[in-house]
Amino acid sequence: DAGVIQSPRHEVTEMGQEVTLRCKPISGHDYLFWYRQTMMRGLELLIYFNNNVPIDDSGMPEDRFSAKMPNASFSTLKIQPSEPRDSAVYFCASSPNRAGGYTFGSGTRLTVV
Amino acid sequence: QKEVEQNSGPLSVPEGAIASLNCTYSDRGSQSFFWYRQYSGKSPELIMSIYSNGDKEDGRFTAQLNKASQYVSLLIRDSQPSDSATYLCAVNPSGTYKYIFGTGTRLKVLA
């Protein structure tokens, strides 16, 4: 298995632009999670899905953030409009069940200037 | 109080020594506990999981869980320079499917 695949690896954008991050989970994994990591706050859960349905989006910072999972093999995290404080590494992770640990993707390093 | 707390370190140990990493959590009903290793610039990698009180060993790694005291620890025996990384503790609070991560402890193994 190729693991959890994220794209792009790096994204540099100007403030106010729309940013879309993409994730392909491991086949057969029913849970998908989006995390954001910064030096100051560590790993923060933004949202997670179970069987393509959003279960908990309480970590989404504000309405500028949205996430979708149109099918079992694809999810997007969108920021519109982007702000410099959104600069972070965004990780996608998937899990086959609620009891097991996650497998993380390689992350997308987002820089908003 | 943070939900999952770890000492940020760095924790420096000589090569061959035992490294002891600790984590405390606030939700007494938490059921699942994990340790992840994260090398600089890389993604977290699962190294240990533990679900019941006591010790769980896997190679050079031992996870210890004490639910009464609400702490979980990770011991690394015969530490190697390649073990130098940040170690993240993750806890699954009761009634949820999500994991809360601590901010991590940076470990440095000195050759």
What pLDDT does A1 receive?
66
Query: Which of A88, A28, B100 lies closest to A77 in space, CA to CA?
Result: A88
What pLDDT does A86 receive?
96
- A15 contact B CB<8A: no
Query: Which residues of chain A neighbour B97 with C-beta distances below 8 Å?
Result: 31, 48, 50, 55-56, 98
Cβ contact B44–A104 (<8 Å): yes
What pLDDT does A40 receive?
87
pLDDT 10s per residue in chain B (111 long)?
A: 568 999 988 999 999 999 999 999 999 989 899 999 999 999 999 999 999 999 999 999 999 999 999 999 999 999 999 999 999 999 988 877 788 999 999 999 999
Cβ contact A101–B104 (<8 Å): no
Cβ contact A102–B101 (<8 Å): no
- Give per-residue pLDDT as tens, A35-80: 999 988 899 999 999 999 999 999 998 899 999 999 999 999 999 9
Measure CA of the first residue to CA of the last residue in chain B; give whole Å.
Answer: 36
Collapsing DSSP to helix, strand or coil, A84 comes out as: helix
How many A×B Cβ pairs under 8 Å? Answer: 46
What pLDDT does B1 receive?
59
- Cβ atoms within 10 Å, residue B36: 24
Distance (Å, whole) CA B76 – CA B60: 6
**Residue B6: Cβ-neighbour burial (10 angstroms; 0-12, 13-18, 19+):** buried
- Give per-residue pLDDT as tens, A72-111: 999 999 999 999 999 999 999 999 876 678 899 999 999 9
- B47 contact A CB<8A: no
Would you say residue A13 has pLDDT above 80?
A: yes
Nearest CA in chain A to B42: A106
- A9 contact B CB<8A: no
Closest approach of chain A CAs to the CA of B41, in angstroms? 9
Distance (Å, whole) CA A46 – CA A101: 17
